[in-house]
């Protein structure tokens, strides 16, 4: 009798759990490393907080964080790591939402009849190094108000000797060495007013425009260096207090804020005084003013002219001066009668 030949297949073994290869594990780790920093910074932006070092410093360059978040997608795909793909996509969406172009206010209905037109220039001359460029810009543009930061003794001497009193008869100058000196030059009559008590000079004044008075405040809080974030927050808080004190009245706050619209401490100044950023209203949001060597989308816009609702913006331009790491900001404004 022929023996039966068994054709039955051997019993199948239970499916083994998926274990990524070494290359896939490495790709997943790379994606994780690329996503950690953008996730923390984007999370603080969502939470409306500036956090602790290095978050305040990185918030100034929020658009840059799209690069590591986008780069994380590739290793996540290579690793076939769905969680990583979703994570990277979420960080990209959140960051992209905050770095999108802001709406402008140029098409807004004017708040009332125009009573005056003003040009305002703010310039950080970096320890006085860019004084020559500033003087040339003032002669060329002839702004009505000039806010100058980091005006050292050589800068204040040049203003006194080479800026005509006939052109700018009204001045508020606080002398200081290196970064501590500041000045306000004005074609408009100025009245004395207390400034903000910061480490670097932040003088204030009241400009007389026809029968209207406009509160002026130069801004120059300390920068958020890793060891000085608390001081930076405190001085931005002083500017917030000033803004709250002039709320409902015509006001201009201009200078080097060492903060962008992605910093919660800066946004609180806007909210406290119902102030608006003139560059944003003119469609120049995120145009970098520091460091001056880079252009959009890199760099940070830390130099601002903030205006109350009594003003509208006709135009905003960033000017390049030699020998400073800041770009100057020149804005054309209209003052309206909203009474």
Q: What is the DSSP string of 152-221?
A: -HHHHHHHHHHS-TTT--EEEEE--STTS-EEEEESS-EEEEEEE--SS-EEEEEEEETTEEEEEEEE-P
Q: Is 3 within the bounds of a domain?
A: no
Q: How many domains does the chain have?
A: 2
What CATH number should be reported for the domain holding residue 123?
A: 3.60.10.10
Whether residues 216 and 241 fall in one domain? yes
Whether residues 149 and 252 fall in one domain? yes
Instruction: Choose one of 74, 99, 124: the last residue of a domain.
Output: 99
Whether residues 156 and 28 fall in one domain? no
Whether residues 93 and 163 fall in one domain? no
Whether residues 90 and 191 fall in one domain? no
**Does residue 273 contact residue 322 with C-beta atoms inside 8 Å?**
no
Whether residues 243 and 163 fall in one domain? yes
Per-residue pLDDT of the chain (339 residues; tens, 9 = 90+): 444 444 554 555 554 454 567 889 999 999 999 999 999 999 999 999 999 999 999 999 999 999 999 999 999 999 999 999 999 999 999 999 998 876 566 656 777 899 999 999 999 999 999 999 999 999 999 999 999 999 999 999 999 999 999 999 999 999 999 999 999 999 999 999 999 999 999 999 999 998 899 999 999 999 999 999 999 999 999 999 999 999 999 999 999 999 999 999 999 999 999 999 999 999 898 899 999 988 777 889 999 999 999 999 999 999 999 999 999 999 999 999 887
Rounded distance between C-alpha atoms, residue 204 and residue 218, angstroms: 6
Whether residues 35 and 182 fall in one domain? no
Report pLDDT for 334.
Answer: 95
Report pLDDT for 18.
Answer: 45
Rounded distance between C-alpha atoms, residue 259 and residue 289, angstroms: 11
Whether residues 262 and 135 fall in one domain? yes
Report pLDDT for 16.
Answer: 46
Whether residues 241 and 271 fall in one domain? yes
Whether residues 260 and 119 fall in one domain? yes
Q: Is 104 within the bounds of a domain?
A: no
Write out the two tokens for 310: 């009594």
Return the H-helix or E-strand segment holding 252. strand 251-256
Whether residues 150 and 236 fall in one domain? yes
Question: Residue 72's Cα: distance from chain center in Å?
Answer: 26
| Residue range of the domain that includes 211 | 114-336
Q: What Rg, from alpha-carbon coordinates, does the chain have? A: 27
């Amino acid at each position: 009798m022929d023996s039966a030949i068994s054709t039955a297949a051997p019993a199948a073994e239970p499916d083994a759990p998926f274990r990524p290869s070494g290359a896939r594990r490495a790709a997943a780790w790379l994606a994780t490393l690329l996503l950690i920093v953008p996730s923390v910074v984007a999370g603080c932006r969502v939470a409306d907080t500036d956090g602790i070092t290095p978050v305040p410093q990185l918030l100034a360059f929020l658009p840059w964080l799209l690069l590591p978040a986008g780069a994380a997608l590739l290793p996540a795909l290579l690793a076939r790591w769905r969680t990583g793909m979703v994570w990277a996509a979420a960080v990209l969406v959140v960051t992209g939402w905050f770095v999108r172009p802001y709406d402008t206010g140029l098409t807004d209905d004017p708040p009332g009849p125009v009573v005056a037109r003003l040009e305002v220039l703010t310039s950080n001359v970096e320890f006085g190094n860019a004084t020559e460029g500033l003087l040339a810009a003032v002669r060329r543009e002839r702004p009505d108000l000039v806010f100058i930061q980091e005006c050292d003794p050589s800068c204040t001497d040049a203003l006194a000797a080479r800026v005509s009193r006939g052109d700018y008869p009204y001045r508020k100058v606080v002398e200081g060495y290196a970064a501590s000196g500041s000045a306000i030059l004005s074609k408009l009559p100025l009245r004395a007013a207390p400034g903000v008590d910061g480490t670097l000079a932040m003088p204030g004044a009241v400009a007389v425009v026809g029968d209207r008075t406009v509160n002026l405040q130069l801004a120059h809080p300390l920068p958020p260096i890793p060891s000085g974030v608390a001081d930076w927050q405190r001085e931005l808080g002083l500017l917030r207090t000033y803004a709250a004190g002039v709320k409902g009245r015509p006001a201009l706050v201009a200078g080097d804020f060492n903060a962008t619209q992605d910093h919660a401490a800066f946004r609180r100044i806007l909210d406290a005084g119902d102030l608006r950023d003139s560059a944003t209203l003119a469609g120049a949001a995120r145009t970098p003013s520091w460091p001056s060597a880079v252009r959009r989308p890199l760099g940070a816009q830390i130099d601002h002219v903030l205006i109350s609702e009594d003003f509208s913006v006709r135009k905003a331009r960033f000017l390049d001066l030699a020998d400073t790491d800041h770009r100057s900001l020149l804005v054309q404004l209209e003052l309206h009668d909203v009474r």
